[in-house]
Amino acid sequence: MMIGEMAVSDRRVSVHKALADERRSRIAAELDAAPDGLDVQQLAELLELHPNTIRWHLGILADAGVVSSRAADRSAPGRPRILYSLAPGAEAAHREEYRLLATILTAMLAARDDGSGQAATAGRIWGRYLVATPPPGSRLSDEQATEKVVELLDQQGFAPRVEDGAICMYRCPFAELAATHPQIVCTLHRGLVDGALEELGTTLETAELEVFPRPDRCVAHLGRRPNP
């Protein structure tokens, strides 16, 4: 192994060790979702941890090269806030941790006769769990329910937009797996949408999921669920 390759390998080991702690992994996930950075107090509120605990974990992540820090722009005199962000290259390392697990689980489901059905069921369960449920007694319009699902998909990295009543997803977080096991990955994603729509109290469902009709998107066409 060349010296450069050893350095890259050592860095990956260091990053993986730093992210092995569930709290540090959650910090990295929050920073991944906040490109403008977050300060200690914001992270403490998001993770419900003491600010000093956050500072300690940030120190470990910084030593591993996972996070970087900078002073926020000041609009008034005084000490500036320190904002933390994922360091260049750390985002990929953070996401890479889950790629092997996702690949193994997808392959296991694909090998089962009922794998596609299990993927759909799991997607529906998690769609119902993850969507922002409206308050009791309120009823959402189809447009509002669709927008809620778009918000959920956006949080999960699908880069979605509503176009002509359909949900266009311009990024697939598991594109490589979807290419090899669409019957599992795409079925699970379809279930995610349908579970969220059910939880929101609408009669909409995915009438058709176009998988990569163009290289840059998948399209979920919505329709009405048939009457039971």
The average confidence (pLDDT) of the chain is 84
Instruction: Answer yes or no: do 48 and 121 share one domain.
Output: no
Position 90 scores a pLDDT of 61
Instruction: Answer yes or no: do 165 and 220 share one domain.
Output: yes
Residues facing residue 214 across a β-bridge: 217
Q: How many residues does the chain have?
A: 228
Position 205 scores a pLDDT of 95
Q: How many other β-carbons are positioned within 10 Å of the β-carbon of residue 19?
A: 23
Is-contact 193 208, C-beta < 8 A? no
Is residue 104 a part of any domain in this protein?
Answer: no
Instruction: Answer yes or no: do 60 and 121 share one domain.
Output: no
Instruction: Answer yes or no: do 188 and 125 share one domain.
Output: yes
Instruction: Answer yes or no: do 121 and 218 share one domain.
Output: yes
The span from the CA of 66 to the CA of 8, in Å, is 14
CATH number of the domain enclosing 42:
1.10.10.10
End-to-end CA gap in the chain: 63
Instruction: Answer yes or no: do 59 and 120 share one domain.
Output: no
Is residue 61 a part of any domain in this protein?
Answer: yes
Position 72 scores a pLDDT of 85
Instruction: Answer yes or no: do 64 and 160 share one domain.
Output: no
The boundaries of the domain holding residue 29 are 3-72+80-93
- Number of structural domains, the chain? 2
Is residue 127 a part of any domain in this protein?
Answer: yes
pTM surpassing 0.85? no
Residues facing residue 82 across a β-bridge: 71
Structure tokens at 9: 């390998």
Q: At residue 220, does pLDDT exceed 50?
A: yes
CATH number of the domain enclosing 135:
3.30.1380.20
Instruction: Answer yes or no: do 87 and 134 share one domain.
Output: no
**Residue 127: pLDDT band by 50, 70, 90 thresholds?**
very high
Report the run of H or E that residue 160 belongs to, with start and end.
strand 160-163
Instruction: Answer yes or no: do 51 and 128 share one domain.
Output: no
The span from the CA of 144 to the CA of 134, in Å, is 10
Q: Which amino acid is at 49?
A: L
pLDDT tens for 146-191 read 999 999 998 888 889 999 989 999 888 888 888 889 999 999 999 9
Is residue 102 a part of any domain in this protein?
Answer: no
Is residue 103 a part of any domain in this protein?
Answer: no
Q: At residue 137, does pLDDT exceed 70?
A: yes
Is-contact 125 186, C-beta < 8 A? no
pLDDT tens for 87-122 read 876 655 555 556 777 888 899 999 999 999 999 999
Is residue 57 a part of any domain in this protein?
Answer: yes
Instruction: Answer yes or no: do 125 and 168 share one domain.
Output: yes
Is-contact 150 160, C-beta < 8 A? yes
Is residue 120 a part of any domain in this protein?
Answer: yes
The span from the CA of 66 to the CA of 39, in Å, is 15
Question: What are the start-end ranges of the H helices in the chain?
Answer: 3-19, 22-32, 40-47, 51-63, 90-110, 115-130, 142-155, 175-180, 182-199
